[in-house]
């Protein structure tokens, strides 16, 4: 088994500021943080304990991404009536597409092993085939598709039973 070279810790203000500067290339620019005059409000949201944001760090690279556990991982329009731990995540744009996804995601899954409920749930834009392939390797399967009305983006809800 590949060594877990990433660690997960609570998100700090500097991490949140870093996330707000991220810009992804096409077609992933969809994931860019909003450009806003209220940066402090966005930082406060990242640091809100109720949203349960964490930083993913690597010894040589430092802060490389984030994850959240709870309602922040949901997208309006999806059916979230079944109990499950919703997981949201993002990797620093310049590190994507380099084969780091498996170790990155494994560290997130290891971090939440003891969380309840045991069922894990992800919501992912269906155009993000790279992420969907990764989640399937971790035994997630699709249970629903829906279209978010404001962005007109199609999403898949994927779950994994522990």
Query: Using one digit for the tens of pLDDT, what is the confidence trace for 2-25?
Result: 455 899 999 999 999 999 999 999
Per-residue pLDDT tens over the stretch 112-160: 998 888 899 999 999 999 999 999 999 999 999 999 988 899 999 999 9
Per-residue pLDDT tens over the stretch 98-123: 999 999 999 999 999 988 888 999 99
Phi and psi dihedrals of 128, rounded to 5?
A: -85, 70
> What's the confidence (pLDDT) of residue 4?
55
Domain 6-160, CATH class in plain words: alpha beta
Asked whether 67 and 104 are in contact (CB, 8 A), the reply is no
Reading the block at residue 121, the tokens are: 């749930």
* 159-33-60-138 Cα dihedral, nearest 10 degrees: 10
CA proximity to 121, closest of 146, 96, 89, 92: 89
Q: Could you state, in order of their start, the residue ranges of all structural domains in the chain? A: 6-160
Distance of CA 47 to the CA centre of its chain: 15
């Amino acid at each position: 088994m590949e060594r877990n070279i990433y660690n997960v810790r609570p998100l700090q203000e500097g991490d949140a500021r870093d996330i707000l500067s991220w810009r992804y290339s096409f077609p992933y620019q969809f994931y860019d943080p909003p450009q806003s005059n209220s940066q402090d409000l966005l930082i406060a949201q990242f640091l809100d304990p109720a949203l349960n944001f964490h930083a993913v760090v690597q010894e040589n690279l430092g802060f490389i991404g984030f994850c959240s556990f709870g309602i922040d991982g949901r997208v309006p329009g999806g059916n979230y009536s079944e109990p499950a731990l919703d997981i949201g995540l993002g990797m620093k744009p310049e590190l994507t597409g380099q084969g780091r996804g498996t170790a990155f995601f494994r560290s997130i899954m290891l971090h939440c092993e003891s969380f309840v409920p045991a069922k894990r749930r992800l919501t992912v834009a269906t155009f993000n085939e790279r992420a969907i392939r990764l989640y399937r390797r971790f035994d997630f399967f699709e249970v629903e598709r829906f279209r978010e009305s404001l962005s007109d983006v199609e999403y898949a809800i994927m779950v994994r039973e522990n």
